[in-house]
Structures are given as C-alpha cells and as structure tokens.
Amino acid sequence: MAEAPAAEARGVTKRFGARAALRGVDVAVQRGERVALFGPNGSGKTTFLRIIAGLTQPTRGEVRIAGMDYRRGGQALRLRVGVTGHHPYLYDDLTAEENLVFYARMFGVSDPRGRAQAVLEAVGMAQRRRDKVRGLSRGMQQRVALARAMLHDPELLLLDEPDTGLDQEAAGQLGEYLVRGNGEPRAVIMATHDLRLGLRLCQRYVMLLGGRIAAGGSMAGLDADALEQAYAAATFQAGQQGRPAQRGQA
C-alpha cells in the first residue's frame, strides 16, 4: 500500500464572513517533498498554512497529516508538525534558551536543555542564547523561531515567509533546516513572496490567487526567469478573467 502523503488538503474552503479566503484547494505533499506556496498578498497562503497547522478550522473540506484527520489525530499529530508563522511564538521576557527549553518540555523532548542548545547552534544563535528575546533583532528572533519549529525534529515543516528579517547568510542556511536529525528530508510547505528562494529550496510550486490554485508544477527545468514569467502569466490571466483562476489540482 502506498504511503500516505505528509500533508493532504482536499477541497479546503475557508470563509471569513462573506469573504472566501480559500476556495476548494486540493494539495498533497508527499513525505520528504518540498513545496513552495506563491501568491500575492491576500491570496490565501497564510490561511492555508494555518489550516494545515490545525490553528484554523476549514469551513469545508478535509485535512490529513500522514493520513490522519487532524480532529482525530490530536496531540500525536502535533509531534509531526513544526510551524513558523508571522508571530515568532516566543516570550519576550524569557531568554532564547529559556524559550526553547520551555517548548522542548512541551513537546516531551528527552533532553530539553541539550536539544535547545543544539538547535540554537544550528541557527547561529548559541552566543546570544542568554539574551532575552525582547533584546534580539527581528532577524535573530526569526532564527530562534526557526529553532523552535525544529526542536522536536518534525516530519513536516510549515514555513510562512521564513526569510523575513533574515540576513543573507541566515537566509542562505535555510536549506540546512529542511533535513531531519536522521538525515531524511522533511516535507515542507513554504509560503513566500521570494520566487528565487522557493526555486532554490523547493521541488514543486503551487500558486494561489484569490484563494484558488492558479498554477502549479515541478520546479525541475525552471529557472528564476521562467518562474517569474509563470507567476506574471497566472496573475495576468486571473486579472483578465476578472476573477481568480479555476480550481486546480496540485
């Protein structure tokens, strides 16, 4: 029997009152596969990631993580997923290390302090581990947030604009975080406006426009220019039609 996808969304629709943020989105991400989520502001990328993370319930449709329904999988599924969002999910008045030790305990990591130090070193924050988060720059906070998402070595990583605030060196190291402790690649869904970052890190892309999938496909054979052209064409086509592109399968 084929292995269940790391994450699967079927017909996911999300409405906020009269406004539909997502309209029947189907995405399946295989284990170890890295998918970039492109789209302009308000296209539904963050809403989609929040639904996959279990932070928001879809109005319609189904989400499965490793073949399990989120509503039934509960706490076991949380161990499989790591998330970075628009918020760093850190406490300003705790140090970087204290934040990570706290979250490691919440995830039941066996050596919280050791693991916190290891991931802080991985993101280049070991020297600043005793600094309160309040005193760290935006980019440093983002590094600690990335470390927090990796603490429990998740199989699936959901990254919402992970390069926000990062300097070039840190952004260049993002690829290192996409491999698990045992050397296996993580499954990744990464929302980003940076097409080149998506091209560098991901194997496939999904383009959202107006809450629908407008385009998608493999990154193989694409260079940055071709990807930018595909992005522009999808945006133009949606604009010409006066409505978002048709529902698609990715």
Partner 1 sequence: MSKDTGPGAPRVRYAQQLGALLWKDLAIELRTRDTIAAMLVFGVLSLTVFNFAFELRAESLVLVAPGVLWVAVLFAGTLGLGRAYSHERERGSLEGLLLCPVDHSAIYLAKLLANLAYLALAEAVLLPVFDAFFGVEALQPGVVAVILLGTVGFASVGTVFGAMAVQTRAREVMLPILLLPVLVPVIIGSVKATGILLDGRPWSDTWVWVNLLIVFDVVYVAASFALYEYVLEDWG
* Binding positions for partner 1, rule: CB under 8 A: 50, 53-57, 74-76, 78-79, 81, 83, 85-94, 98, 102-103, 105-111, 115, 118, 148, 152-153, 181
Of the candidates 83, 84, 56, 82, the one whose C-alpha atom is nearest the C-alpha of residue 70 is 56
**At CA 88, angle to CA 85 and CA 90, rounded to 5?**
145
Q: Which is nearer to partner 1, 148 or 212 (CB)?
A: 148
Residue 246 CB, shortest distance to partner 1, in Å, is 30
Q: Which is nearer to partner 1, 137 or 229 (CB)?
A: 137
Q: Which is nearer to partner 1, 50 or 143 (CB)?
A: 50
Residue 151 CB, shortest distance to partner 1, in Å, is 8
Residues 6 or more apart in contact with residue 102 via CB below 8 angstroms: 91, 94
Residue 99 CB, shortest distance to partner 1, in Å, is 9
Q: Which is nearer to partner 1, 106 or 224 (CB)?
A: 106
Residue 49 CB, shortest distance to partner 1, in Å, is 12
Q: How many CA atoms lie within 13 A of 147 on its CB side?
A: 32
Phi, then psi, of 138 in degrees rounded to 5: -60, -40
Q: With the C-alpha atoms ordered 120, 123, 124, 128, is the resulting torsion angle positive or negative? A: negative
